[in-house]
Amino acid sequence: MKAIVCTQLGGPDQLTLQSLPDPRPGPHEVCIAVAAAGINFPDTLMIQGKYQVRPPLPFVPGAEVAGEVIEVGAEVTRFAVGDRVAAFVPVGGYAAKAVASEHECLALPDGMSLIEGGGYGLVYGTVSHALMQCANLQPGETLLVLGAAGGVGLAAVQLGKLMGARVIAAASTADKLALTRAHGADDTINYREQSLKGEVKALTQGEGANVIFDPVGGPLAIECLSAAAWGARYLVVGFAEGNIPALPANRLLLKELSAKGVAWGAFVAREPEVNAANFAQLARWYGEGKFKPVISGQYPLAEAPRALHDMLARKVTGKIVLVPDAA
């Protein structure tokens, strides 16, 4: 099978397209014919050796795939050949075939295409957990989303609205902000040109945001605390900006703020039933036509380096996927 291989740590250009033996499933695993492999920001870090997960070289990057099950291990009980699934792999996704534990596979909601499925599990799993369990977001609360046109950001805009929040979307360009409005944002802030704190305060009559979803980090994280309401929950989702902020504890004290980490992968391992309930709710919403994964780009497998460059250059909106069949 064809696969993208990381043979040495570095930027996207050192990735190579290779022919590898087909993977075979272990007793509790399934083999999936990959229709779409989701590209996620952590992939850009993993190939540079900058992510918390450091697979031994050489490895095939790619944390999630969607496709049809083509083989099942002897002990597999939940899935059969022909099922349409999304799977968290967590490496090996940039390939024509991938194996996944049956416990990390998800039946795709009825009507969801395999291409949409490639951008579904990881971001919607993360965001539903962040907003439901980590923030306990309530109807009528104000949710501020940073990086709001990106993968997890746009999903946070969509799900925040579905949970009844007023959503303020913050991003770096007018086009990105227009996209967030098309997906439900009530108000927008361009944090390249406007003061995050000043705009949030103006939009909330001085109160601030009740929940802040931050996948960006860096200096904006500190501004977020100034834009927070009394008792707000600040969600530490990621550091796409590149710098891990040191949060000043006095800001937490003054307004009784909570800073809450979001670690979806570890949550799934520890609380699989809660994660399953989140996905059951997502499937209901999808079935009712209340949201759709936003797939803004499909790249042939061989063009994985271009896709990763686009992500690093902040050109990507919503989700992008690799499509092995197009290779």
Q: Give residues 45-84 in contact with ligand NAP (rule: CB under 6 A).
A: none
- Stretch of 18-26, 28-36, 38-46, 156-164 contacting ligand NAP, by CB under 6 A: 38-46
- The answer to whether the CB of 137 falls within 8 A of the CB of 163 is yes
Does position 314 interact with ligand NAP (CB under 6 A)? The reply is: yes
Choice from 31, 36, 47, 149 touching ligand NAP (CB under 6 A): 149
- Stretch of 68-76, 88-96, 170-178, 202-210 contacting ligand NAP, by CB under 6 A: 170-178
Collapsing DSSP to helix, strand or coil, 265 comes out as helix
Does position 316 interact with ligand NAP (CB under 6 A)? The reply is: yes
On the question of a cis peptide bond just before residue 90, with omega within 30 degrees of 0, the verdict is yes
209/165 Cα distance (integer angstroms)? 11
- Residue 25 or 118 having the CB closest to ligand NAP: 118
Residues with Cβ within 8 Å of 14's Cβ and at least 6 positions away in sequence, in order, are 6, 7, 8, 47
Q: Give residues 112-131 in contact with ligand NAP (rule: CB under 6 A).
A: 122, 126
* Beta carbon of residue 134, minimum distance to ligand NAP (angstroms, whole number): 10
Query: Which of these, 106, 161, 137, lies nearest to 277 by C-alpha position?
Result: 106
Does position 180 interact with ligand NAP (CB under 6 A)? The reply is: no
- Stretch of 83-91, 156-164, 240-248, 300-308 contacting ligand NAP, by CB under 6 A: 240-248
Choice from 23, 29, 40, 304 touching ligand NAP (CB under 6 A): 40
- Residue 31 or 211 having the CB closest to ligand NAP: 211
Does position 274 interact with ligand NAP (CB under 6 A)? The reply is: no
Task: State both tokens at 59.
Answer: 């490895």
Task: State both tokens at 14.
Answer: 């050192």
- The answer to whether the CB of 160 falls within 8 A of the CB of 136 is no
- Residue 176 or 233 having the CB closest to ligand NAP: 176
The secondary structure element, H or E, covering residue 300 is: strand 295-300
- Report DSSP state, residue 144: E
- Residue 109 or 153 having the CB closest to ligand NAP: 153
- Residue 72 or 211 having the CB closest to ligand NAP: 211
Does position 167 interact with ligand NAP (CB under 6 A)? The reply is: no
Q: At what angle do helices 151-162 and 174-182 cross, to 10 degrees?
A: 40
- Stretch of 18-26, 69-77, 158-166, 231-239 contacting ligand NAP, by CB under 6 A: 231-239
- The answer to whether the CB of 108 falls within 8 A of the CB of 114 is yes
Does position 264 interact with ligand NAP (CB under 6 A)? The reply is: yes
- The answer to whether the CB of 191 falls within 8 A of the CB of 168 is no
List C-alpha distances in Å: 307 to 108, 135, 264: 24, 32, 24
Which is it for the CA torsion 310, 313, 316, 321, positive or negative? positive
Q: How many residues bind ligand NAP (CB under 6 A)?
A: 28
* Beta carbon of residue 216, minimum distance to ligand NAP (angstroms, whole number): 5
List C-alpha distances in Å: 60 to 4, 96, 100: 6, 11, 14
Does position 42 interact with ligand NAP (CB under 6 A)? The reply is: yes
Residues near ligand NAP, by CB under 6 A: 40-42, 122, 126, 147, 149-153, 171-172, 176, 215-216, 237-242, 262-264, 311, 314, 316
